Structure 1
Amino acid sequence: MLGSNQYGKAEIRIVRVDRRPDGDELTDLNVSVALRGDLAASHLTGDNSGVLPTDTQKNTVYAFARHGIAGIESFARRLAEHFVQSQDGIHEARVSIEQYLWRKVDGRHTFEKTGETRTATVHHGHHGTQTVSGVKDLVLLKTTDSEFHGFVQDQYTTLPETRDRILATSVNATWRHDGADPRTAKQALVDAFADTHSLALQQTLYSMGSRVLERCPEVVEVKLSLPNKHHFLVDLAPFGMDNPNEVYYAADRPYGLIEGVVRRDGVEVPEEVVWTF
């Protein structure tokens, strides 16, 4: 029998330039659409009478962008609602957007690409509408105010305890909300990382999630995935030199991966609407 299924157009690249007298604004997006509904006939018999072509979905994204994008959350919601309302056989839509950020460097029309990526996913259907915003590849590093000690040690442990270390991570975070300002949420993550004297990356994760909930009342939960980007002191003793926490080797793998959810008290977990296979 046919189980859960979906289809759509993935990774629609779109760049919109808003022409303004005081300088252009640039919006750089990667949009993916997925639809669910009465689609069994297409799978079982090849009857495509209920299938909106993925090429049409692509064109719809471009046409909607002509009328303006504004925030990626509102753009995703407009698209998701359109696909459900305009197609009798489509009951659910998911629109996921990655926004690549550019910083204006001359005040007019020259831009520099930044490192992190903003994300938004909107689900619309019988369950209502849910919005999840986020940020990924937000690289943060602090040169001190981080420790790691008191951990379990067995016959395979070689890691020494430390009272002062570099702490670095590449933040991948999402937050479920109803109208939260993504800039406020991102700044809360950065501020918590900066001012938490960390005894473990787990502690920092909880501080970051809690800070978003404190500053953004519209957010009900925060999911964080924090790879520990290890920096190890280089042993300079063979060269007759000391190393007072100044020269490090930045290792890219393997790495610790700390993940968790920080949820507001009393909030129930909603019906699962994130489609995975």
Structure 2
Amino acid sequence: MPTDDTERAITLGANSYGKSGVRLVHVVRDSPRHDLRDLTVHTALAGDLDATHYRGDNTGVLPTDSQKHTVYAFAREGIGSIEGFAERLARHFADTAPAIRSARVRVEEHPWRRTGEHSFARGDGGELRTAEAAYGDGAVRFTAGVRDLLLLNTTGSAFGGFLTDRYTTLPETEDRILATAVDAAWTYETTGDDAWFDASFAAARAALLEAFADTYSLSLQQTLYAVGERILRAVPETGEVRLSLPNRHHYLYDLEPFGLDNPGLVFQAGDLPYGLIEGTVRREAP
């Protein structure tokens, strides 16, 4: 017999709180050639927070405004790798706030292109470098990655042999534009210093670019696996790679109504809707 909902206990489940969207710009001015870092930081703290949820007792709550100030104060000592910066913040929150047992700090880095000794420009795509440090029970777990990395191959991609039904109108093709905006996140099974994190990120990103460029793609799923596999091989300390690849469709435009042929020269860039291919590539457990 179904249990009467009125007799079932109601309790608090998993929860966290923090400050999202902390915009931070850091300038190194120790020489005439300045260095610029542009970050967005997100914090999330969890622990013994029942009292504030059940009774409004805020004794154990470190205000999110305090978390914001902490981000800026820690930046005063320098950034280093964004993984290392995230770890320092996460450890601080979990180790100094009595009610907090674990902390996650996620960082996104916005790229600026140098145009002079102290001049920079933005606008080359929307790519962000990302990192997250999750700290609790004395252990820290790192995730690094990229978001909105725009990639396009003008050839070297086909799509055919797919399932068809009464609603299928898509023609098979042996040559198409393949374009996507990559969201990728890979986990590290170890830790390191700032130089190691930066070098590992550079190696993983380079592997991603190479896999996309030199894989003859029969499907975006195949490309996804090739990218994940290449990152795992390039950085042995990685455990898994999570990928999200929207298919930025490019349609050959029909110029026949104007008496013109179109031998793969003119395309209409699609917007909505789009195909979305997602998956995880991981190492087998030892």
Code of the residue aligned with 2:175 in structure 1: it is: D
RMSD: 1.2
| Equivalent residue letter for 1:152 | L
Bigger mean CA offset, 254-263 vs 44-53: 44-53
**Which residue identity is paired with 2:120?**
F
- Aligned pair 1:240/2:249, yes or no? no
* CA distance in 2: counterparts of 1:4 and 1:197, whole angstroms: 44
Structure 1 runs (4+) deviating above 4 angstroms are none
Contact 2:105 2:132 in 1 (8 A): yes
Q: Provide the residue aligned with 1:109 in structure 2.
A: 118
1:34 to 44, 64, 72: 44
Residue 144 (structure 1) shift: 0.3
Structure 2: how far apart are the matches of 1:91 and 1:203? 41
Separation in 2 of the partners of 1:86 and 1:26?
30
Q: Please list the CA deviations of residues 209-230 of structure 1 after superposition, one character each: whole Å capped at 9, or x if unmatched.
A: 0110111011111000000000
Displacement of 1:138 after TM fit? 0.3
State the distance in 1 between where 2:119 and 2:177 align: 35
SS across alignment from 2:143: strand
Residue from 155, 162, 165 that aligns with 1:151: 162
Q: In structure 2, what is the Cα distance between the partners aligned to 1:198 and 1:134?
A: 23
Q: CA deviation at 1:127?
A: 7.2
For residue 160 of structure 1, the aligned residue among 166, 171, 180 is 171
Aligned residue pairs: how many?
A: 266
Q: Secondary structure at 1:194's aligned position in 2?
A: helix
- Structure 1 window deviating more from structure 2 (42-51 vs 137-146): it is 42-51
Quick one: distance in 2 between partners of 1:8 and 1:169?
A: 32
Mean alpha-carbon deviation: is it higher for 40-49 or for 227-236?
A: 40-49
Once the two structures are TM-superposed, the CA of residue 266 in structure 1 deviates from its matched residue by 2.0
Give 1:247's aligned amino acid. Answer: V
Residues 86-165 of structure 1 correspond to what in structure 2 (within 5 A)? 86-106=96-116, 108-113=117-122, 114-115=124-125, 116-126=127-137, 128-165=139-176
Q: Specify the code of the residue in structure 1 equivalent to 2:173.
A: T
Secondary structure at 2:94's aligned position in 1? helix
Q: Out of 156, 162, 187, which is 1:176 matched to? A: 187
Residues 130-181 of structure 1 show CA distances to partners (whole Å, capped at 9, x for unaligned) of 0001100100001000000000111111000000000000000000013451
Name the structure 2 match of 1:231: 250
Further displaced range: 208-217 or 123-132: 123-132
Task: Tell whether 2:9 aligns with 1:12.
Answer: no
Pick from 10, 21, 34: which aligns with 1:24? 34
CA shift digits 1:212-266 (9 cap, x unpaired): 0111011111000000000000111111111101110000111110001010122
Distance of 2:257 and 2:138 partners within structure 1: 64
Aligned residue type for 1:50: G
Overall identity of the aligned pairs, in %: 55
In 2, Cα distance between equivalents of 1:165 and 1:185: 27
Residue 74 of structure 1 corresponds to 84
Identify the residue that residue 274 of structure 2 maps to in structure 1.
Answer: 255
Question: TM-score, normalized by length of structure 1?
Answer: 0.93
**Distance in 1 between residues matched to 2:47 and 2:252, nearest whole Å:** 56
Unaligned runs of 5+ in 2: 1-10, 192-196
Deviations 1:18-48 (A, max 9, x none): 1132511111011111111111111111111
Cα distance in 2 for residues equivalent to 1:232 and 1:256: 14
